[in-house]
Amino acid sequence: MCGIVGIVGKRDVNVQLYDALTILQHRGQDAAGMVTCQDGRMSQQKANGLVQDVFRTRHMQRLLGNMGIGHVRYPTAGSSGPALAQPFYVNSPYGIALAHNGNLTNADKLSEDIFKTDLRHVNTDSDSEVLLNVFAHEMQMQGKLSPTADDMFAAVAGVHNRVTGGYAVVALIANYGLIAFRDPNGIRPLVYGKRAAEEGGIEYMVASESVALDVLGFELIDDVAPGEAIYITEEGELHRRQCAKATRLTPCIFEHVYFARPDSIMDGISVYKARLRQGEKLAEKILRERPDHDIDVVIPIPDTSRVAGQALAQKLGVKFREGLVKNRYIGRTFIMPGQQQRKKSVRQKLNPIELEFKGKNVLLVDDSIVRGTTCQQIIQMARDVGAKKVYFASAAPAVKYPNVYGIDMPTTAELIAHGHSDEDVCREIGADWLIYQNLDDLIAASTEGNNKVTEFDCSVFTGEYCAGDVTPEYLEKVAAARNDSAKSGKKVKQMELPIGLHNGAARG
């Protein structure tokens, strides 16, 4: 999962892009990058690390221009390194920089086609660079020295015809403007908004989540629709068009479970309210299955389960307490490679408050259970500080299948629920009782926010992939790239920077 942002303003946008990337930092902590454009000349800074570490004053002084794009990344196939930080750039045609959130499921075939047919070179193993070259080729095919909005949209239509998977994209075209588009299934999120500029006129912003618009003072206009593209000229003219032949809205429901900030709106659905409803529906299931429960206190595993936990406790009529204190300087643990590293991180990340556990029957609430490593250790922490019984509730159903559309979900063999019953999982994590959310209830928790959204990508729970081209062979390849041994030892090709692009990738 990654975060993307693009702004077309009336003055330098570098600081605004920096602020937006900081707001979207929860979507990726592996690397960050930014490209801006002034008088047709692009400037870039990208490197591994958090936003605050990648951009320094000296970088901001040369990242000039009234339009730009930015990206925060975490790796989706085990690879990491400065060469894979985004945005990517190609000189021809026009000069195009692109940032991408998602994953292309036909990236290997596209990479071969790009080399053999399009006669273009891909320098890394990133599907984002593949996507950039597909888009650049489609722009080249328009054959225009000065492309129009129609040419931009025709190029996006060409991308949709060739590419499969989940993708949300922002691209910067030197001397022309910013274009953003979303896959025909609307799997990955993308919104845009506007605000009045102090100098007069309108400024536009595109981002993965609406919270980035809110904080920077932009008014949310709409989500980019599945298959739709929006083009904002350098002068600030907005154009939009549907560019895909067949579309359906199947957004990733795991955004509502875990990834998105609760103060975001996605496809007209409040993530906060969706999580409230998740907690309420989970409480209803508990009352059905254990009407005479002996739960003394509900404790959320911070942070993403807090909203659901509050609603659950209120519905059950039991105390809600913050019994686990989080170290906010530790990254999201299910992304980290290696079981030993994850175990160490959990201990560093969370510390229990003994008086909230001692002598009590505790219901721990988490957003989901993936590998089971984290919840297993937290349950043991609860016992170590004196909990009498430890129950565990997941606001999502059992995660049984890998994600192939941009979330670095572990391989099937590493998912604790795959091929195992709820009782098996309960025993493995060491809980006295385990309860999962029903899938129908999870879907209802989100659709109640917008009845026009009737389906979601729930592939991590069902194994049904909405783009329709995922084969067992593809999943085997994903497993080989994502397993812990691959993550701990994989090398990535280094990138030679294109001539003419200012780059400050070296840190120091």
Which residues are known binding-site members? Answer: 304, 366-367
What phi and psi, each to the nearest 5 degrees, are found at residue 444?
-60, -35
Q: What is the 3-state secondary structure (H, E, C) of 408-471?
A: CCCCHHHCCCCCCCHHHHHHHHCCCEEEECCHHHHHHHHHCCCCCCCCCECHHHHCCCCCCCCC
- Residue bearing tokens 């605000």: 195
Extract the annotated binding site for Mg(2+).
304, 366-367
- Residue bearing tokens 């910013």: 178
- Residue bearing tokens 């783009």: 467
d(CA 230, CA 153): 8
Q: How many CB atoms lie within 10 A of CB 412?
A: 17
Instruction: Using alpha carbons, select from 24, 26, 31, 28 the residue that is nearest to residue 7.
Output: 24
Q: How many CA atoms lie within 13 A of 296 on its CB side?
A: 13
Q: Which of 2, 243, 375, 466 is catalytic?
A: 2
Instruction: Using alpha carbons, select from 485, 304, 479 the residue that is nearest to residue 402.
Output: 479
First to last CA, the chain: 27
Q: What is the DSSP letter of 132?
A: H
Paired tokens of 14:
């570098």
Paired tokens of 327:
């170290």
Beta bridge partners of 340: none
- The interaxial angle of helices 271-289 and 439-447, nearest 10 deg, is 140
d(CA 360, CA 404): 41
Q: What 3-state DSSP class applies to 212?
A: helix
- Residue bearing tokens 């593949």: 130
Q: What is the DSSP letter of 498?
A: P
Catalytic residue flag (residue 2): yes
d(CA 313, CA 302): 15
Q: What is the DSSP letter of 186?
A: -
d(CA 181, CA 232): 12
Strands (E), 174-316: 177-182, 191-196, 202-207, 219-223, 228-233, 238-242, 265-266, 269-270, 297-300
Q: What 3-state DSSP class applies to 292?
A: coil
Could you give the residue numbers annotated as active site? Answer: 2
